[in-house]
Homo-oligomer: A and B are copies of this chain.
Amino acid sequence: MAVITMREAISQALWEEMERDDRVFILGEEVGVWGGTYAVTKGFFDHFGPKRVRDTPIAEGVIVGAANGAAMAGLRPVAELMTINFAFLAMDQIVNHSAKLHSMFGGQFTVPLVIRAVGGGGRQLGATHSQTPDAVFAHFPGLKVIAPGTPQDAKGLLKSAIRSDDPVLFIEHATLYQMRGEVPDGEITEPIGVSKVQRLGRDVTIVTYSKMLQTSLQASAELANEGIEAEVVDLRTLRPLDMGPVVESFKRTNRAVIVEEGWPSFGIGAEVASRLYEQAFDYVDAPIRRVAQKEAPLPYNRTLEQMALPQVSDVVRAVKEVL
């Protein structure tokens, strides 16, 4: 058990999988000489060389498109999108191609690529660089969408994503790279499509993922001081969505708060809440609450930005409302 940062965990997963399987290669903007905009691939260029760590022009469409083609031809590309906001420039390749090529041709070939994209707000990058549009991508069958909230999950899930024969969008949160956590030494993988209880509690079920997992855990600690014990379930994968542990927990607590960083409308919370009502209707003691981003493009101004993003205090308040 070593304590490492999220950055190190992701970096280790990439490194290990590249050592393990020479079909795995990285392409994207500034992944090579620069060492990755968020320094995730620092040292990779020198070790693996320009063949396997490929700096590309600024052209998201062909970055993901070429990754799709290389995957069809049997390689295992890991395409890096500097931020998920730029995924909109590759949207057609992601939703019309990565997600459909396998089934549309009757399963003749697979498309085993991973698209790493950095998401999230809170760094004053303005409306076009701060989005959390995870639900938008999770809407499309054929794609798998992963968004880890701890170093261990980041490492284990990224390794599983790279080994998966299906296209995976792997969403990293820009403000979590420095976060530290325990990661078992050596070879670890985590299963895709399996939610995980990250904190035990009897009073309320908090359902969340990614950065908001940390926010929810902090809120839970505050609530514990007041004798309220929240159980925190981490979705980890948004498609396929595993409701098992969520429902199981909810059947004990009968109360739930869903915490997401993105906008609420047509978001993650809406789907989780709907499924909870569908799958555990008789266990509902209070309306399920959603905590999410305010419905506005995220402003540059720090105060307004923080006001728009879900805070620990918002989670605490929501939990008290459902109790």
Q: Are A100 and B88 in contact (CB under 8 A)?
A: no
Contacts A277-B287, A288-B277, A295-B141 known; A128 to B96 CB distance under 8 Å? yes
Taking CB atoms and an 8 Å cut-off, the chain A residues in 269-323 that contact chain B are: 269-271, 273-274, 277-278, 281, 286-290, 295-297, 299
Taking CB atoms and an 8 Å cut-off, the chain A residues in 246-286 that contact chain B are: 262-263, 265-271, 273-274, 277-278, 281, 286
Contacts A266-B138, A277-B288, A287-B277 known; A297 to B103 CB distance under 8 Å? yes
Measured between beta carbons, the chain B residues less than 8 angstroms from A263 are 139-141
Q: Are A277 and B267 in contact (CB under 8 A)?
A: no
Taking CB atoms and an 8 Å cut-off, the chain A residues in 90-117 that contact chain B are: 91-92, 95-97, 99-100, 103-104
Q: Are B295 and A274 in contact (CB under 8 A)?
A: no
Which of B265, B277, B288, B289 makes the CB contact (< 8 A) with A241?
Answer: B265
Measured between beta carbons, the chain B residues less than 8 angstroms from A91 are 88-89, 91-92
A314 to chain B, nearest CB (A): 16
A200 at the interface (CB under 8 A from B): no
Q: Are B104 and A126 in contact (CB under 8 A)?
A: yes
A121 at the interface (CB under 8 A from B): no
Interface string of A1-15 (1 = CB under 8 A from B): 000000000000000
Q: Are B89 and A139 in contact (CB under 8 A)?
A: no
Q: Are B141 and A135 in contact (CB under 8 A)?
A: no
* Bound form: Cα–Cα A102–B126 in Å: 13
Q: Are A104 and B89 in contact (CB under 8 A)?
A: no
A153 to chain B, nearest CB (A): 21
A89 to chain B, nearest CB (A): 5
Measured between beta carbons, the chain B residues less than 8 angstroms from A96 are 85, 88, 127-128
Q: Are B88 and A296 in contact (CB under 8 A)?
A: no
Which of B100, B270, B288, B289 makes the CB contact (< 8 A) with A127?
Answer: B100
Which of B89, B95, B241, B274 makes the CB contact (< 8 A) with A274?
Answer: B274
Q: Are B100 and A128 in contact (CB under 8 A)?
A: yes
Measured between beta carbons, the chain B residues less than 8 angstroms from A135 are 139, 266
Measured between beta carbons, the chain B residues less than 8 angstroms from A128 are 96-97, 100, 104
A136 at the interface (CB under 8 A from B): yes
Binding site for B on A (CB under 8 A): 85-86, 88-89, 91-92, 95-97, 99-100, 103-104, 126-128, 133, 135-136, 138-142, 239, 241, 262-263, 265-271, 273-274, 277-278, 281, 286-290, 295-297, 299
Given contacts A97-B128, A99-B297, 11 further A-B contacts (CB under 8 A): A86-B92, A96-B127, A100-B128, A104-B128, A133-B139, A136-B266, A138-B265, A139-B263, A139-B266, A278-B290, A281-B286
